[in-house]
Structure 1
Amino acid sequence: MRLIVSIAAAGAALASMPALADSAIPEGTTLDVTATGKVTRTPDIATTRASVVTQSATAGAALSENATRMARVIQALKAAGIAERDIATSNVGLSPQYRYQQNEAPVITGYQASNTVSVKFRDIGRSGAALDALVKAGANQIDGPSMSIDKPESAFDEARADAVRIARARAELYAKATGLRVVRIVSINENGESGDNPPRPMPMMYARVAAAPAADTQVMPGETDLSVSVAVRFLLQ
């Protein structure tokens, strides 16, 4: 497992602080350090949107043809091992198509129907073959994939621990530079967590839809970074 750590020692501040009347915080100097812990993981889920778009002279015909082709697409996804819980309809649309001429009112020439499903691939290595299958079944628009981590909680916790560890090391550096020592942590505030998706291999999939080459579509998960930023206040004496 490869670990990447980045430090943002922003806003380090030294300020004298008098002792409180109730002695809750001993007299000393406070130091504020902001640090970011980052871990790298390989995504294990790829989410793609697949659409069927059809056109016909009437609305009913456009919808009927669309429904028939989408049924084949869904069947192809199930045959590829995609569970029903990972297939969700995200949009169904029907719109008239117009012909425009100068100085004349628009004329309806037909109708366009669309149906889009969001597909979650839990085996990224097999998702390329599944995409090929659904295109053969009738899908004519592909968008994605979007890579993600199925259960990122443990990775974020690891990043949190590293952020605090980094903040502590930076506090020790400041304390040594000023002839003081770190007594304890006064407070910790989490500034947020984030996960960066790797680049999408969309051009490959669009090329597959447009040109249908003989080679199978490849979907590469790459790596994604997950990070947590914390602000830690230390007491120095």
Structure 2
Amino acid sequence: MIYRKLFLAAALAAAPVASLHAADVQIVAQNPVIELSVSEQVNSAPDTASFSTGVETKAPTATQALRDNSRMAKTVIDKLKSLGIEDKDIQTTGISLNADYQYDRASEQNRFVGYRVSNQVSATVRDIEKLGMILDALVSQGGATNLNGPYFSVDDDSELKKLARERALANARMQALSYANAEGYAGVRVLSISEGLSNVSQGPMPQMRGMVADAVQDLPISVGQVGTTINLSITYEMVR
């Protein structure tokens, strides 16, 4: 399914001559110009999902907190690999060590109780039919204490970009011709094109911390669709 959005900002030059610069190349327009911004989005079913997971540990000393965390983090990574996720799709994204405090109501002050260590890992799932099972196994068997995601995407979206680009160009030309004809010109020629890309996916599921296995068994996953969007800024010259 294809959804279209068109945003127009047309400017007719007050003077008969306008100059456009791209890098070191100067393009001179002898007639009025039209500037258009066009956005075209192509929706499709995702085939890839990514999420982050990890463990958090607390201990009286920094050394113990790090040791405990390292052991638990290794369990999580080993579990990811055993679930079919390749090494190239697993990446450590952050390790933090911080002092841990608890609020003492009696003294109305924060009391130092030890250290807190967090280790986060991102993973990419290329068989998203297994995503629910993987998330379940990480918490129930892998020792993960938090999950964040998933984020859905299309692994190879080159064809989607091509389709969106073609439709955006067609839309832009149709609009430019409409402006040109209204001003008594027969056609248009392109002076410049710049492109921007964006991907739209479902928002991530809420972060889950410290959930027991029963809370995530048979976790339902709805992948929906993701959108690949091409944003074009095109300048046309009106021609006789």
Secondary structure of 1:206's aligned partner? strand
Determine whether 1:125 maps to 2:106. Answer: no
CA contact (8 A) 2:145 2:210 kept: no
Cα displacement string for residues 164-203 of structure 1 (whole angstroms, at most 9, x for unaligned residues): 1111111222233334310x41312215222222222x14
Match of 1:10 in 2: 9
Could you tell me how far apart the structure 2 residues matched to 1:135 and 1:179 are? 68
**Identity of aligned pairs, percent?**
29
Match of 1:111 among 115, 124, 129: 115
SS class of match (1:60): helix
Contact 2:51-2:147 at 8 Å conserved across structures: yes
**Aligned residue pairs, count:** 230
Cα contact 2:41–2:228 (8 A) shared by 1: yes
SS of 2:208 mapped into structure 1: helix
- CA separation of 1:26/1:150 partners in 2, compared to 1, >3 Å: closer, same or farther? closer
Please give the alpha-carbon distance, in whole angstroms, between the structure 1 residues aligned to 2:29 and 2:192.
18
Structure 1 residue 161, shift from structure 2 partner? 1.8
Residue in structure 2 matched with residue 162 of structure 1 by the alignment:
167
The within-5 A match list for 1:1-237 is 2-13=1-12, 15=14, 17=16, 28-99=31-102, 101=104, 107-136=111-140, 137-182=142-187, 184-200=188-204, 202-203=205-206, 206=208, 209=211, 212-213=214-215, 215-227=217-229, 228-237=231-240
TM-superposition CA deviations, 1:29-55 (whole Å, max 9, x none): 433333222222222221111011112
Shift of 1:7: 1.4
Note closer, same or farther for the CA distance 1:236–1:73 as it changes in structure 2 (3 Å cut). Answer: same
Q: Would you say the 8 A contact 1:148–1:197 is kept in 2? A: yes
Instruction: State the one-letter code of the partner of 1:226.
Output: T
**Residues 208 and 199 of structure 1, relative CA distance in 2, 3 Å threshold:** farther
CA offset digits 1:53-99 (Å, max 9, x no partner): 11223333322222222222112111110001111111122222234
Contact kept? 1:164, 1:230, Cα under 8 Å: no
List alignment gaps of at least 5 residues for structure 2: 20-26
TM-score of the pair, normalised by structure 1: 0.82
Bigger proportion of residues as strand: 2
Q: Which runs of 5+ in 1 are unaligned?
A: none
Kindly tell me: are residues 44 and 162 of structure 1, through their superposed partners in 2, closer, same or farther at Cα, counting changes over 3 Å? same
Structure 1 residues 226 and 15: alpha-carbon distance in aligned structure 2, compared to 1, 3 A threshold: farther
Decide whether aligned partners of structure 1 residues 112 and 134 sit closer, same or farther in structure 2, where only a CA change above 3 A counts.
same
Normalised TM-score (structure 2): 0.81
Q: CA deviation at 1:223?
A: 1.6
